[in-house]
Amino acid sequence: MQLPPSAAPRSAYPVDVLPPELRRLLLFLSEAGPPVCAYVYDGDVAADRARELRSALPPWAAVYYAVKANSFPGVVAALAPYVDGFEVASKAELELALRAKSAAAPAVVAAGPAKSVPVLTALVRAEVEAINAESLLELHRISRIAVAEGLRARVALRVNPAEIPVAGSLHMGGRPSQFGVAEPDVPEVLSQALRLPGLDVVGFHVHAVSGNLDADAHAAYLRWCVEWSTRTARANGVDLRHIDIGGGIGVAFEGEKPFDVARFGELAAQVEPPAGAKVLLEPGRYLVADCGWYAAEVTDVKTSYGTSFVVLRGGINHFQLPTSWDIVHNMAVLPVERWPEDCPRPVAENTEVTVVGELCTPEDTLLRDVRVDRVRAGDLVVFPYAGSYGWEFAMHRFLAHPVAERHLL
């Protein structure tokens, strides 16, 4: 059974880690009647993160927000003026990006291992900057659609490299995967792609990093992607204009050192891409993790065989991240004073508690063995760093409880 790791001996965050305007909104919602289960986002926080990363990078680098991390329209709109474009993986994400594009005019690139013909058709018709093609069959499909539409589709070949010779938190390359074309097969795939009438092969997509907090390693990875793409394009007759290194910048949780954006920018500036080639970064989680909070009302506090449980109106049907990524995702308790006078109010004080949800499975556990000063039925439990892979990543239909609301500060 998948459960988050024990938080012991950690204590819950103090309530003042929650911004005052967030506390005011949540307390207002708690007065409205139905039990609170909501995400709250601050678009300014996401915009600040994007500005910080963009300003640290050299002019030849571009920041494209990976919409999958948080597709709430208010967050996407807040990011639009401060990113160079969006990375999308579905028709719905494409439509969302195009709506934001109309206001801020960023570009769009597309990814995903199993793009259907309707998705590819929408991408071709939208004349996106690049479709990151995952296979030879997908290249043929794109070409056939583009010819039928009287267009040439810009494509970048997604590559699964045999080896990435740099240190750090690097994954997703050099092993069997549904993602991209294995490096030994690249020359043959390119030779066919360059002959397809509906394609303009612009470069490569290499996404082999996950959760990297080491700025030096990430800069070395960027350099490797640029040098590999340059060599491979030259060897195979590709007019290289597009080098997409994917995302992978990590978010620091308790006890971890945050990613050093300034250091990464300094090292990236020492790389020299070939003339006319743009280097794309596709951060998702990094831009939006700290712009969001997940809050749920405590419906009960109970003790079973010596363990205190805090039971929420919510759980992994709203916020699945702690059970899926093997992380301690800490919380704060926001006291709510309103409570019926004729009803007992269970409480846990100065003890460790395990925070669980409303689903009929013991896997619905968000946080284990965290020490609290006090938590009562009716209080709100609030999880910071819930702006990425939260609402989008949850099990909305299991038991068919109402989905979490979403609000923009």
Pairing relation of β-strands 278-281 and 61-66? parallel
Q: Which band of pLDDT confidence, cut at 50, 70 and 90, is reported for residue 1? A: low
Backbone angles phi, psi at 355, to 5 degrees: -100, 120
CATH number for region 15-42+289-408: 2.40.37.10
pTM confidence score: 0.94
Predicted confidence at residue 321, as pLDDT, reads 87
Active-site positions? Answer: 360
CB 218 within 8 A of CB 264: yes
Q: Which two tokens stand for residue 72?
A: 């709430």
Q: Which CATH class is domain 43-288?
A: alpha beta
Predicted confidence at residue 174, as pLDDT, reads 64
In this predicted model, what pLDDT tens digit does every residue of 295-309 receive, in sequence order?
999 999 999 999 999
Q: Is the pLDDT of residue 177 over 80?
A: no
Q: Which band of pLDDT confidence, cut at 50, 70 and 90, is reported for residue 209? A: confident
Q: Which amino acid is at 405?
A: E
Q: Is the pLDDT of residue 316 over 60?
A: yes
Cα torsion angle, 316, 318, 324, 326, sign: negative
Give me the DSSP letters along 233-254: HHHHT----EEE----B----T
Predicted confidence at residue 102, as pLDDT, reads 61
Instruction: Name the residue with higher pLDDT: 254 or 354.
Output: 354
Residue ranges of the domains in the chain? 15-42+289-408, 43-288
DSSP H/E element including 374? strand 365-376
- Contact partners, residue 375, CB within 8 Å, separation at least 6: 12, 298, 301, 310, 333, 347, 348, 353, 381
In this predicted model, what pLDDT tens digit does every residue of 12-24 receive, in sequence order?
999 999 999 999 9
Which whole-number Å values give the CA distances from 83 to 47, 62, 65, in the listed order?
9, 8, 7
Q: Is the pLDDT of residue 327 over 90?
A: no
